């Protein structure tokens, strides 16, 4: 199976037809490289705010509503592309107004339509304190013909217990769409994604937004590189990096995997992070001893 992670730039769009054309080109480029699972980034949908008047796209609250209104058309387009090319696509996440405040929702599409949705669990300070985007529905595990898939949206990837819940449910692949405006932010998600691949002895696909966006201040600067990670152990690269794009360069990170490698490394790897996880709770529960330096 060939995986594809998008380092995706946000574009100023003239109309929805231009968005359709852009997404179609991106998907067809990945298909030409043999990909069957495509991952787009967190808040990549915010480029749709450019279809509204500038005073709307530049207003934090108004932009959320403007983008959410395109949800049905975005779903229809992704379903069409997934069916045409027999693909699985995690679409760029978007604001979803299931209640009075929006959640940050990513949708997984398959050849037969929408498989399901994943809402972000942990809100960043900007989402909590400025944008008022809230946590949505709980974690989902998607049991698909190409594998058992979980999604951790950006900041979620920095919390190991979320990933562990997916791993214990059977996840073999974890998708990490992200949107970060600094190298530090990107690095935190990258390190989190790599750590989750190590702990869970699984494959993690990291897809970020990249480049500048001059029409929507919520996503005005975007720093990142797309990558596909695995455990640095038997059957995987020693670095844990299966593929990675250049920093801030749009394009696809592409890697071929066999999910049998996940089960192999979990059963015969050099280490057993996946199997030994429960042991740490016992050790951590023991009293911490404070040893004073007798020379002080």
**What domains are there in the chain, each with its CATH number?**
2-285 (3.60.110.10)
Q: Could you give the CA distance from residue 100 to residue 21 in angstroms, rounded to a whole number?
A: 32
- State the pTM of this model: 0.96
φ and ψ at residue 118, rounded to 5 degrees: -130, 125
Decide: 22 and 57 in contact? Cβ < 8 Å: no
| DSSP SS3 for 173 | strand
Q: What is the DSSP letter of 34?
A: T
Per-residue pLDDT of the chain (296 residues; tens, 9 = 90+): 999 999 999 999 999 999 999 999 999 999 999 999 999 999 999 999 999 999 999 999 999 999 999 999 999 999 999 999 999 999 999 999 998 999 999 999 999 999 999 999 999 999 999 999 999 999 999 999 999 999 999 999 999 999 999 999 999 999 999 999 999 999 999 999 999 999 999 999 999 999 999 999 999 999 999 999 999 999 999 999 999 999 999 999 999 999 999 999 999 999 999 999 999 998 888 877 888 877 76
Q: Residues near 258 by Cβ (< 8 Å), separated by ≥ 6?
A: 1
């Amino acid at each position: 199976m060939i995986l594809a992670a998008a380092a995706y730039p946000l574009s100023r769009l003239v109309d929805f037809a231009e968005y359709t054309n852009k997404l179609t080109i991106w998907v067809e480029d990945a298909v030409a490289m043999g990909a069957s699972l495509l991952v787009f980034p967190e808040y990549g949908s915010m480029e749709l705010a450019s279809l509204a008047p500038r005073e709307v796209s530049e207003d934090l609250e108004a932009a959320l509503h403007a983008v959410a209104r395109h949800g049905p058309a975005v779903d229809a387009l992704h379903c069409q592309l997934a069916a045409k090319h027999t693909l699985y696509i995690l679409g760029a996440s978007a604001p979803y107004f299931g209640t009075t405040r929006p959640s940050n929702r990513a949708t997984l599409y398959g050849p037969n339509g929408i498989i399901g949705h994943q809402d972000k669990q942990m809100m960043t300070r900007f989402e909590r304190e400025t944008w008022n985007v809230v946590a949505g529905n709980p974690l989902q595990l998607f049991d698909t013909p190409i594998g058992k898939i979980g999604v951790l949206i950006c900041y979620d990837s920095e919390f190991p217990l979320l990933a562990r819940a997916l791993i214990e449910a059977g996840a073999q692949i974890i998708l990490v769409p992200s949107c970060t405006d600094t190298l530090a932010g990107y690095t935190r998600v990258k390190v989190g994604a790599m750590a989750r691949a190590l702990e869970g002895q699984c494959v993690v696909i990291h897809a970020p937004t990249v480049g500048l966006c001059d029409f929507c201040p919520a996503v005005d600067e975007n720093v990142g590189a797309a990558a596909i990670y695995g455990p640095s152990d038997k059957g995987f690269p020693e670095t844990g990096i299966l593929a990675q794009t250049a920093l801030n360069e749009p394009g696809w990170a592409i890697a071929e995997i066999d999910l049998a490698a996940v089960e192999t490394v979990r059963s015969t790897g050099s280490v057993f992070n996946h199997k030994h996880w429960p042991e740490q709770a016992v050790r951590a529960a023991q009293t911490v001893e404070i040893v004073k330096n007798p020379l002080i």
